[in-house]
Amino acid sequence: MLRTLLVPLDGSSLAERAVPVACALAKRTGGAVHLVRAHVPITVVGATAEGAIFSQDMLAVDDAVRRHARTYVAGVAERAAAAHGVRVTPLCEDGSPAGLIEEVADRLLADLIVMTTHGAGGFAPDWLGSVADGVIRRSHRPVLTLPENEAHPERVFAPRRITVPLDGSERAATILPVARDLALAYGATLDLVRVVAPYVPGDVISHLPTDRPDPFGVDAEAALAKRALDDIAQTFTVGGVTTTATVRMDLSPTKSLQAHLKETDPDVVAIATQGRGLSRVFVGSVADKLVRTAGRPVLVLRPVGKRKA
């Protein structure tokens, strides 16, 4: 279950949008929220006496900034705990933002990282451009991203429909347990979707007989894909999660998935960040595009790769 939740903060009100989302989820699962703020130390080394004085001044400034960061994250934690009735723990440590988030998530065995995709900018971290993007690419912990360009910013986070794009690979399916746990917490429906994209090398289509049934094997692959999705759906439905299964056929998985999202308007998209590769796969570049363009929360997981012997 999603009980240990981590929320990175950068001092901006936009980043703080993730706090009530994490607290509400923690209240449903009986979990706790940990807030983390990274302080990037100022390092100045002077070769002259004047430089040494300058360095001491900067170190004093650095210490003041660190104290302010600690006071800030402690204040956010105190207010969040009082407002939501859950345990909220503040943490401020020195380090690079993305690296510290990954380290703390592993240290706490975090079940989920909840963060916005943009933050303060300027001299502070610029999320998804750097920090959120770095966390998604580096961490093997699930990350729930809350986009700045959300299509329905007025909605309270309480998902009723979660769309899960799959491509038939084991790596893509690693997102399923996390999506199931989120669905269980909110009583949401899981919408499994897979796009079958025919492989068409060059202009081979012009050389195939027109009377040949299913020349690219798309219908057969679609039938196999539907049976596989139905098996997953049946397992999840028995486990208490209402689950639907949809197979679409399109040469462009990305465009087909975007059309599916427009038609069904889910509250969350849940996707792994790597799959089979090549043109018939959702995960990989598609996940990257979704985080930036979906206009809704995206639950992302980078699967742990197999170790080389």
Predicted local confidence at residue 126, as pLDDT: 40
- Tell me the average pLDDT of the chain: 82
C-alpha 230/C-alpha 166 separation (Å) is: 12
Give the end of a domain, one of 85, 118, 146.
146
Q: Is residue 238 part of a domain?
A: yes
CA nearest to 44, candidates 35, 33, 31, 53: 53
113 and 172 inside one domain: no
> Is the Cα dihedral 224, 225, 229, 232 positive or negative?
positive
Query: Cβ atoms within 10 A of the Cβ of 307, count?
Result: 5
**Is residue 190 within 8 Å of 245, Cβ to Cβ?**
no
Provide the CATH number for the domain around residue 204: 3.40.50.620
126 and 248 inside one domain: no
Query: What is the span of the domain harbouring residue 89?
Result: 4-41+70-146
24, pLDDT greater than 90: yes
172 and 285 inside one domain: yes
253-264 and 285-293 helices, crossing angle to 10°: 40
Number of domains in the chain: 2
Three-class SS state of 97: helix
Q: What is the pLDDT of residues 281-295, one digit of tens each?
A: 344 566 667 666 677
Q: What is the pLDDT of residues 78-107, one digit of tens each?
A: 999 999 999 999 999 999 899 999 999 999
103 and 219 inside one domain: no
Q: Between the CA of residue 235 and those of 148, 230, 231, 244, what are the distances in Å?
A: 35, 9, 6, 11
133 and 182 inside one domain: no
174 and 74 inside one domain: no
Q: Is residue 61 part of a domain?
A: no
244 and 283 inside one domain: yes
